[in-house]
Amino acid sequence: MIKQTVKSALKISANMFPESCAKAHYFIKFKKKLNLTNPRNFNEKIQWLKFNELNNHIYTLCADKYRVREYVAAKGCSEILNELYGVYDSAESIDYAALPKKFALKCNHGAGYNIICDDKSSLDIEKTNRQLDRWLKQDFSSLFIEPQYKKIERKILCEKFIENERGGFPDDYKFYCFNGKPYAVMVCVGREKGTPKFYYFDMNWQPLPFEDTIELIKENQYPQKPEGFDKMKEYAQKLAVDFKFVRADFYLLNSKVIFGELTFTPSAGLDVTLQEADVILGSQLKL
């Protein structure tokens, strides 16, 4: 009861005093004040975008995991969209009998709302539906002040299950794009083993001087530039053209590019893991 009361109070505060809440979140994470007047680093500039850019309709469209498909198609990139099995207003509308053995369910109005099913026969449908309906009731935008999610008409999507030839998750590539151009890519490998590693490269596949990437390279050979990288870079540039900043996410499956999502506020502008990245990426974002 107390936990629910606290959540309700935070939601009300976020809706009534969003800037004060953003400053509080920032101070709790970084133990310093948020400078919205003259933001310098990447996290600060992401916070600035929340109050000066992200209420625009195009951000709502592209943050919506369903309607972003319209944007991708309008940019001439429909061939990279993952196969869509269905779109639902509620969990009870899902016809599980009509779905294949493997699929992915997600809500369209936030992050982390994913259920990956690799064997429908073992899926607890009642539990799954309860979880989906709980997610649909959540105002994700108020958790860490991310206004691009506020006006999304909430839906459940069912998409094709993506797996590599080993039956695991494919590597994914997250392109950090500034003023319409990709600058850096974060590569996640080894997710299928439960021990993912994250590497940052520039567009020439040279490691960026971020602490975690340097440490990983010291420990072992870093991944080679994959076939399909240049295609992903081209798609990232096409999709980034309208934004001061966007992270364009893709999967690469047997050299085939599959669109993931467009992200405008990575870690809600509260990423504490990479201080070097905060400075270097911040220098690229021109407000």
pLDDT in tens, 108-157: 999 999 999 999 999 999 999 999 999 999 999 999 999 999 999 999 99
Q: Check whether 197 has a pLDDT greater than 90.
A: no
Task: Say if 100 falls within a structural domain.
Answer: yes
Structural domain including 106 reads 55-163
Q: Which of 58-62, 199-203, 216-220, 273-277 has the lowest mean pLDDT?
A: 216-220
Closest of 97, 92, 168 to residue 136, by C-alpha = 92
Tell me the pLDDT of the chain averaged across its residues. Answer: 91
d(CA 232, CA 242): 17
pLDDT at residue 2 greater than cutoff 50: no
- State pLDDT tens for residues 205-259: 998 888 666 666 666 667 889 999 999 999 999 999 999 999 999 999 888 999 9
Q: Is residue 140 part of a domain?
A: yes
Q: Which runs of consecutive H residues, i.e. helices, occur in the chain? A: 2-16, 18-30, 42-52, 57-63, 68-74, 125-137, 211-219, 229-240, 275-284
Q: How many domains does the chain have?
A: 1
SS3 178: strand
- φ/ψ of 237, rounded to 5, equals -65, -40
What's the rounded Cα separation, in Å, for the pair 85 and 82? 10
Please state, as a whole number, how many other Cβ atoms lie within 10 Å of the Cβ of residue 118. 13
In a domain, 287, yes or no: no
- Is 208 contained in some domain? no
272 contacts 53 by C-beta, under 8 angstroms: no
Of 15-24, 43-52, 163-172, the least confident: 163-172
Give the separation between CA 222 and CA 42, rounded to whole angstroms. 25
Helix (H, G, I), strand (E, B) or coil at 169: coil
Neighbouring C-alpha atoms within 13 Å toward the C-beta of 267: 14
Q: Considering the domain boundaries, does residue 61 fall inside one?
A: yes
Instruction: Write the DSSP symbol of residue 34.
Output: -
Task: Indicate the pTM of the whole model.
Answer: 0.92
The per-residue pLDDT for range 43-84, each reduced to its tens digit, is 999 999 999 999 999 999 999 999 999 999 999 999 999 999
Alpha helices in 76-192 (DSSP H): 125-137
Looking at residue 219, what is its pLDDT?
62
What pLDDT, on the 0 to 100 scale, is given for residue 165? 72
Report yes or no on 177 lying in a domain.
no
Percent of the chain that is helix, strand, coil (3-state, to 5) = 45, 20, 35
Q: Which pLDDT score is estimated for 192?
A: 64
The residue type of 172 is D
Instruction: Look at residue 233 and tell me if it is in a domain.
Output: no
Domain-embedded: residue 94: yes
